[in-house]
Amino acid sequence: MTHAPQHSIQVVAHRGASEDAPEHTLAAYRKAIEDGADALECDVRLTADGHLVCVHDRRVNRTSNGRGAVSALELADLAALDFGSWKTREAWRGRDEEPDWEHRPEDPADTSVLTLERLLELVSDAGRRVELAIETKHPTRWAGQVEERLLMLLKRFGLDAPATAAESPVRIMSFSARSLHRVRAAAPTLPTVCLMQFVSPRLRDGRLPAGVRIAGPSIRIVRNHPVLVERLKEAGHQVHVWTVNEPEDVDLCVRLGVDAIITNRPGAVLHRLGR
């Protein structure tokens, strides 16, 4: 059964189509674009030699065949690792029969470390508008370098200074208010998203840090405190919810009128929305 919302909800592929393919790989992002996702979400971290790469965890241990912190490794070290086979092992876990390999990437280039630059190229070549929601991970450790490198890279793609936030295909997200502040100070028209995993006094009042127009609460917050979505909307903010994978949570987001659903299953969510 599909539920067509009265307003349009953006469907954002969280780390790519990360249920079907290994997160943060070209394979996952290509699949998300194929599935029709409106936008792609990625986490960015800085390598020891100053490259922005799309990796969620501080260390590469979970999602690659290597070990160590991203910040201690150079891009060439990361490029030698396989960021795909962990997903294959995960798919096998607890199964007697071979899992469905339909989306198993064959080309090693599809599961090597993904730089933000390569992801920006993919989006530029998509042949349709695909937005990018970039999350700065633990930016405080680098005292502004993550944001500085990020804005330099966006500038190269002509994406750092949109005429208005509404027309920007890129937005910057963070749990760190300081990181969002740095971005706003250097690129005032670039939209920013304040991510939230706890109900703070600020959130209870529907307030966001100065200049931030988009709230990013977790689905757990939205399930437990749906009134907060109403409050944020009344205050004129957009609401982008993560990570929404279950059909009943999609339906809840539709009922509450959220603006974006961030999901590991963009194809299934689009189907649920009747698109």
Binding site for Ca ion (CB under 5 A): 43, 135
| Of positions 52, 150, 195, 269, contacts ligand G3P by CB under 6 A | 195
Collapsed DSSP state (helix, strand, coil) of residue 171: strand
Q: What is the Cα 4 distance to its own chain's centre?
A: 24
Are 49 and 79 a contacting pair, CB within 8 Å?
A: no
| Rounded Cα gap, residues 225 and 219, in angstroms | 10
Element (H, E) at 239: strand 238-241
Minimum distance of ligand G3P from residue 98's CB (angstroms): 29
Catalytic residue among 3, 24, 51, 56: 56
Applying CB under 6 A, among 33, 162, 168, 242 the residue interacting with ligand G3P is 242
Asked if 14 is an active-site residue, the reply is yes
Q: 262 is in the binding site of which of ligand G3P, Ca ion, none (Cβ under 5 to 8 A by kind)?
A: ligand G3P
Helix (H, G, I), strand (E, B) or coil at 249: helix
Q: Which of 14, 51, 237, 240 is catalytic?
A: 14
Nearer to ligand G3P, 161 or 256 (CB): 256
Rounded to a whole number of angstroms, the minimum distance from the CB of residue 274 to Ca ion is 27
Query: What is the full DSSP assignment across 171-200?
Result: EEEES-HHHHHHHHHH-TTS-EEEEESS--
Q: Minimum distance between the CB of residue 28 and Ca ion, rounded to whole angstroms?
A: 13
Per the CB < 8 A criterion, the answer to whether 48 and 141 are in contact is no
Q: Shortest gap between Cβ of 99 and ligand G3P (angstroms)?
A: 23
Number of residues that bind ligand G3P (CB under 6 A): 9
Residue among 177, 163, 183, 173 nearest 239 (CA): 173
Q: Which residues bind ligand G3P (CB under 6 A)?
A: 14, 41, 43, 56, 135, 195, 216, 242, 262
